[in-house]
Structure 1
Amino acid sequence: MTEQLEAAVIAAQDAVTKQGDTVRSLKASAKEGKVQKNDVDAAIVKLQELKLDLDAKQKELEKIAGGKSSQSREAFRAVLAGVLERRLFYIPSYKIYNGVAGFYDYGPPGCAIKANITQTWRQHFVLEENMLEVECPAVTPEIVLKASGHVDRFTDFMVKDVKTGECYRADHLLEGTLEKLLEDKKNPLTAEQTKEARDLLSTVGELKEDTLGAALTKYACKAPDTGNDISAPFAFNLMFKTSIGPRGDMVGYLRPETAQGIFVNFKDLLYYNGQRLPFAAAQIGNSYRNEISPRSGLLRVREFTQAEIEHFVNPDDKSHPKFSLVADLEPLLYSRDFQMGDEKKPHPIRLGDAVSKGIIANETLAYFIGRTWLFFKRIGINPQRMRFRQHLLHEMAHYANDCWDGEIETSYGWVECVGLADRSAYDLNAHAKMSKVDLKAHETYPEPRMEEELKIVVASKEVGQAFKKDAKTVTEHLQSMNECDAMELKAKLEAGSGDITTIDGQTFTVTPKMVDIKKELVRKTGRNFTPAVIEPSFGIGRIMYSMFEHAFYTRGEANDAGSDDARGVFRFTPLVAPVKATVFPLLQKAELNEVANKVSTSLTAAGLSNIVDTTGTTVGKRYARTDEIGVPFAITVDYQVQTDNTVTLRERDSMAQVRIPVPEIAGVVKSLVDGVSSWLEVQGKYPAQQAAANSEVA
C-alpha cells in the first residue's frame, strides 16, 4: 500500500511540475496574442486542482508511513534539515537571540564544503580558462548602482502589518489570499467572482502599485500571522543602504551582485590583458539582498556567496576557441520550444547541434553551459536532476540576446542555481555613459577599409548662448550620443527642432544651428567598439543545498519495536567532502594510538584533512558518526598492525574494506581523493578485510 501511494505522490508531483510549466508557457503566448486569456485561466484552475490532489496524497502517505516515507518531500526535507543543523553544516545566525531571518552561520563541515566547492569552481573556471580574478569591495557608491539600474529598478512591492509593523511581499500575500478563496469549498465564490479571481491570479506578478493596492483592498487581504489590517503597497528597494565616510554624506549600498565590480574595472583589465579580446574576469564574494520574506533555508537568504564570470567578446564574433571540447556533451536542455510545446519536458541535446540549429545563440554561451554541466557533475550533482532552461521571450531583459538558467531539482522543485546570459554591451555602455570614461576595445583590420563614421559637431557659441550654465551638460550629452540616438535626433532637427534628455533627467530643446549630425566615408585601419558580455553567475549557497539533497540517504529502517535505526549518510564526492578520512584506533591502547597518530600525520602531510577519533565507542558507531558528515574513507588501526604493519581502509558507500601497508595508506587515499584511482582499482590491488560482526551497522 505504501509503495503504491509513494508512486502516486511521485506522479502527482510530476503532474504539478508539468502543469506549472504549461501555465508559464501559456502566459507567454498570451502576451504575444497567440492564445486567449480563457486558456490561461483554465490552465491555472487545473494547476490548483493538481496541487490539491498532491497535497491530499502526501497527507495520506504521511499518515500511513508515520512521517518516514522516503518519497515524501516534506519528510525527506525534515530529516535532512535535522542532520544539517545537528551536525553544524549550517545553523540560523544569532541563534541565542532567536535569530534573524535570512542569515545563516556555517559550522565546521559547512565551511569546509563551501571552501572545497569554491576552490573547485576556481580550478574549473578561473585556472583552466585563464581568467583574470578580481576582488572588489562589498560597499558600493550609489552612482555605480545608479548606472547599472539597481537604484531605480531593484525593487519589490511591500505591505506592513499596521499594528506590528511586520513586512510582507504584497504580490505573495494577494496570491495566497486568492488561492484560499478559490479553494474554499465551505464558502464558494459565484461563477463571476471565480472568473474575476482567476483572471487576477494569472497576472499578480505584473500588477503596478495602484492596481495591486486596489486588489489587496478589494479582497480584504490581512497580515497572515496576526489577521491585522495591512498598509497600502509601496516600492521597497532590496539593497542594504549605508553611508560612506565620517560625515555620512556619501550614499552607498551593499552590493546586490559582484558583477558591477568587474564592469567598472574593464578598462584596466583590458590593459592588463594586453588590449586583447576575448578575455574573462571572475570574482567570488558575498552579495546582499534585503529580501522581504526570506525562506527555504539557503535558497533565499539576505547574504550569500556568488561566483560570477564576465566574458568579454567582440559582438561580431562570439565563437569560442575551445568549443569543440564541449560540443559533444548532451545536457538536458529545456528550450523555449520544449516549454511552449505539449510535452513540457527537457531533452538531452548535443551542444554542437544546439548552436548549429540556433537553439543556443552562440558558441561562447553554449561553451559555458557545457562547462557548468561538467562542474555540476564534478561536485556530485545528479546529471538526471539538472537542466538548463531557456528564458521565454517575455522573461528576458530588453538588452539580452539569450539567457539560460542552470536548474537543479530538489524537494522544493527546480531551483535556479546558475544564470547564463548573453547581456550584449548593456553594462559597459551604461557605465561609460555615467562615468564619461571610454570603455571600448580596439580592433585592427587586416586591411584598411572605407566605412561610414558618425560625426557630431556642436556649435559651442550657439549652445552657450541658449543654455548658459547648462551648456556643458548639453554639449557632453550631444557628443556622447550613440548612432541610433544621434540619427533619431537628426531626423527631428530636419523637421525643425528636437528634445534631448540628459542623464540627470533634464530636458533641453536643440535646433539645427546648435549641432550638425552626419555620416561620412572615411578610411579606417581599425575600429573602437564596446564588447559584448557573456555572464555565467553562480549562487554557491543554492548549489550547496542542492548538493546536500542529492548526496543524502539513509541506511537501515524502523524496526518492529518502533525504534528508528535509520541513520543518515552523505555520499559527498571526495573532492568536496569536508574531511577526507578518519583514523580509528580499534581500542584505547597506547600502541594503537601511536600508529593512528603516525597515519594522521602522513595524511596531513599529503594535504588531506583528517580526524583521529579516539572515543571509547565501537568502531561501528564511529563509522556511523563520520558517515553522517560524509567522510568518504575510514582507516582503522587494529592489532594486526603489530604483525604485518597494515591497517584497514573502508569506503563509505559500499562499506567494503581492504588492508593496506601503513607507509602506503596516505598515497592510496590521496589518489582516491584526487580521482587518480578508483575504489575498484584499490580493491583489485589490496586484500579484502572482512568487517567484524559488531563493527558495522548494516
Structure 2
Amino acid sequence: MLLHSLFISTSSTISKTLTPYKTLTLALLFPRRLSSMAAAAGEDALRRALAEKRTAADAQAEAVRAIKARAGASEAEVDAAVEALKALRVEAGATAKRLAAAAAAGSNGGGGDWAGSREAFRQAVVNTLERRLFYIPSFKIYRGVAGLYDYGPRGAPLSPTSLPFGDSSSYIKFFNYTIFNHFVLEENMLEVDCPCVTPEVVLKASGHVDKFTDLMVKDEKTGTCYRADHLLKDFCKEKLEKDPKLSPEQAAELKHVLAVLDDLSADELGAKIKEYGITAPDTKNPLSEPYPFNLMFQTSIGPSGLSPGYMRPETAQGIFVNFKDLYYYNGNKLPFAAAQIGQAFRNEISPRQGLLRVREFTLAEIEHFVDPEDKSHPNLGMLVTWNF
C-alpha cells in the first residue's frame, strides 16, 4: 500500500522525496509506472509553458488594441506590436502541438498512459458535449468571448439559472418556469440559456446600439429626466378626460397625437411639447429639447476595458446567433421553434407602474423559424379557424 501510494503521488513530490538510488531501484522494479510518471511530469511542464505563452499572447493582444486606440500611434509602432503578437502566437501554437503529441503518445501506451488517457477522455467528453449542444461557446459567429457559454437544448434544463431553487424568489421562479415549460414541451421547442453579458458587436449588428433608444427631456433647472413621449401622452389624456372646454376639433387633434405618438421624431415631439406648453411635472420648470437615450446598460468584458459589452435588453439575440447550430440539431429541417427565459436589463428613463416597468426583469421569448416557401405546420389545423 505504501509503494502504491508513492507511485500515484504527483511527479513533483516524487522528485523531492526519492533519492537517485531509490529512483533507480524503482525503475528496475516498476519501469512502466516510473516512465508513466516521467511522461506525466513532461506533460505538466508543457501545459504550464502553454498557459504562460497564451497569457503572454493575450497580454500582447491587449497591448495591440491599446496602441491602435491611442491617438497619435505611429504605423511602425503598430506593426512592431503586431509582429510581436504573431511571434507569441506561433510559439503558443508550437507548444500546443508538442503537448498534443505528448498526450497522444501517453494515451497510446507511450509511457504516460494514465495522464494521457485522462486528458484524451476529458477532451472527448468536452467534444461530445459541444457536438450534442449541451453547451457551446457563446457568440461563435462573432468569434466568441472567452469565459461565456450557451447551454443548448440538452444543457439548458440542467443549467444553474434554469433550476428554480435556492433563494427567496424560488416560488416565483418555479411558477415562471412551469408556465414557460408548458409551451416548450407542448411544441417540442429547443430551449437555450445564454449569458446576460453581450458583446457590443452582436448588438451593433442587431441595431440595438444605434436604435434601442427612447427620447428624453430634462428639467432645465434640476436635471431630472423624463421620457418625452410619456409627458405628451399624459398631457393629452388628462386634457381629454378633465377639460370640459375642449372643442371637438381640439379633442380630435389630441386623439390624433395619441394615435401617432410612437411615430413622432425628436423634432416633432419637441414641437408638440412647446405648442402645448408642457413643463416638468414635479417643478413646472421648462424642459430641454428631446434627445435619444440608449436603454442598454453598458459594461466592459475583461480587465483591459477595451472590449465593450452590454447587459442584454432582450433574450432573443442568444437564439438568433445560435440559429445554425439549432438548425443542425433539428436535423437541418424547418420549421422549428427556439425559446429562452432569463433576466433582461433596460435602463428605463423613468421607471413607474410598479413591477410593470422596471430595470431588471424576467423575460421569456420564443422565435419560430419557417421555410418562406413552405409554412406548413402539423398543428396548424387546430388553430386556422380561430378568430382573434
Tell me the distance in 2 between the aligned counterparts of 1:203 and 1:233.
17
Tell me the distance in 2 between the aligned counterparts of 1:137 and 1:145.
14
**1:254 CA drift (Å):** 1.2
Task: Give the match for residue 240 of structure 1.
Answer: 297
**1:251 CA drift (Å):** 2.1
Question: Within 5 A, what are the aligned runs for 1:41-80?
Answer: none
1:260 equivalent to 2:340? Answer: no
Tell me the distance in 1 between the aligned counterparts of 2:215 and 2:322.
33
Q: 1:184 to 1:130 in 2, by over 3 A?
A: closer
Task: Give the match for residue 136 of structure 1.
Answer: 194
**1:231 CA drift (Å):** 1.3
Q: 1:218 to 1:311 in 2, by over 3 A?
A: closer
1:298 equivalent to 2:363? Answer: no
Q: TM-score if structure 2 supplies the norm length?
A: 0.51
* AA aligned opposite 1:313: V
Task: Give the match for residue 55 of structure 2.
Answer: none
Task: Give the match for residue 117 of structure 1.
Answer: 176
Match of 1:239, SS state, is coil
Q: TM-score if structure 1 supplies the norm length?
A: 0.30
**1:306 CA drift (Å):** 1.8
- Where does the alignment leave 5 or more consecutive residues of structure 2 unmatched? 1-164
**1:118 CA drift (Å):** 0.7
Task: Give the match for residue 212 of structure 1.
Answer: 269
Tell me the distance in 1 between the aligned counterparts of 2:384 and 2:361.
34
Q: Which has the higher helix share?
A: 2
1:353 equivalent to 2:385? Answer: yes
Higher relative contact order (CA 8 A, sep 6+): 2
In structure 1, which of residues 311, 316, 319 is the aligned counterpart of residue 368 of structure 2? 311
Task: Give the match for residue 154 of structure 1.
Answer: 212
* AA aligned opposite 2:175: N
Tell me the distance in 2 between the aligned counterparts of 1:271 and 1:200.
48
Question: Within 5 A, what are the aligned runs for 1:546-695?
Answer: none
1:224 equivalent to 2:281? Answer: yes
**1:164 CA drift (Å):** 2.4
**1:128 CA drift (Å):** 4.1
Tell me the distance in 2 between the aligned counterparts of 1:281 and 1:199.
39
Q: Deviations over 1:188-208 (max 9, x none)?
A: 467876665555454333221
Q: 1:310 to 1:218 in 2, by over 3 A?
A: closer
Tell me the distance in 1 between the aligned counterparts of 2:250 and 2:272.
13
Tell me the distance in 2 between the aligned counterparts of 1:202 and 1:267.
40
Percent of aligned positions that are identical: 62
* AA aligned opposite 1:231: S
Tell me the distance in 2 between the aligned counterparts of 1:111 and 1:223.
41
Tell me the distance in 1 between the aligned counterparts of 2:322 and 2:213.
26
**1:163 CA drift (Å):** 2.4
**1:185 CA drift (Å):** 5.1
Tell me the distance in 2 between the aligned counterparts of 1:312 and 1:191.
48
Q: 1:308 to 1:206 in 2, by over 3 A?
A: closer
**1:353 CA drift (Å):** 1.8
**1:308 CA drift (Å):** 2.1
Tell me the distance in 1 between the aligned counterparts of 2:212 and 2:289.
19
Question: Within 5 A, what are the aligned runs for 1:4-15?
Answer: none
Question: Within 5 A, what are the aligned runs for 1:512-527?
Answer: none
Q: Deviations over 1:476-496 (max 9, x none)?
A: xxxxxxxxxxxxxxxxxxxxx
Task: Give the match for residue 341 of structure 2.
Answer: 284
In structure 1, which of residues 166, 173, 189 is the aligned counterpart of residue 231 of structure 2? 173
Match of 2:293, SS state, is strand
Tell me the distance in 2 between the aligned counterparts of 1:197 and 1:132.
46
**1:136 CA drift (Å):** 0.9
Question: Within 5 A, what are the aligned runs for 1:418-433?
Answer: none
Tell me the distance in 1 between the aligned counterparts of 2:337 and 2:308.
30
Tell me the distance in 1 between the aligned counterparts of 2:339 and 2:253.
48
Q: Deviations over 1:608-640 (max 9, x none)?
A: xxxxxxxxxxxxxxxxxxxxxxxxxxxxxxxxx
Tell me the distance in 2 between the aligned counterparts of 1:165 and 1:300.
22
- Where does the alignment leave 5 or more consecutive residues of structure 1 unmatched? 1-105, 328-350, 360-387, 389-698
Question: Pairwise CA RMSD of aligned residues?
Answer: 3.0
Tell me the distance in 1 between the aligned counterparts of 2:362 and 2:210.
24
**1:223 CA drift (Å):** 0.9
Task: Give the match for residue 153 of structure 2.
Answer: none
Match of 2:385, SS state, is helix
Q: 1:272 to 1:178 in 2, by over 3 A?
A: closer
Match of 1:307, SS state, is strand
In structure 2, which of residues 299, 306, 325 is the aligned counterpart of residue 249 of structure 1? 306
Q: How many residues align?
A: 224
Tell me the distance in 2 between the aligned counterparts of 1:153 and 1:143.
14
**1:120 CA drift (Å):** 4.1
Tell me the distance in 1 between the aligned counterparts of 2:265 and 2:316.
29
Match of 1:353, SS state, is coil
**1:157 CA drift (Å):** 1.0
Q: 1:115 to 1:217 in 2, by over 3 A?
A: same
Match of 1:177, SS state, is helix
Q: 1:155 to 1:177 in 2, by over 3 A?
A: same
Match of 1:127, SS state, is helix
Tell me the distance in 2 between the aligned counterparts of 1:196 and 1:266.
46
Q: Deviations over 1:241-280 (max 9, x none)?
A: 2222222222211111111111111112222333233333
Q: Deviations over 1:294-320 (max 9, x none)?
A: 222222222111222223222222222
Tell me the distance in 2 between the aligned counterparts of 1:147 and 1:135.
21
Match of 2:325, SS state, is helix
Q: 1:269 to 1:190 in 2, by over 3 A?
A: closer
**1:285 CA drift (Å):** 0.9
Tell me the distance in 2 between the aligned counterparts of 1:263 and 1:195.
43
Tell me the distance in 2 between the aligned counterparts of 1:277 and 1:260.
19
Match of 2:278, SS state, is coil
Q: Deviations over 1:543-583 (max 9, x none)?
A: xxxxxxxxxxxxxxxxxxxxxxxxxxxxxxxxxxxxxxxxx
Tell me the distance in 1 between the aligned counterparts of 2:258 and 2:333.
51
Q: 1:266 to 1:198 in 2, by over 3 A?
A: closer
Q: 1:319 to 1:159 in 2, by over 3 A?
A: same
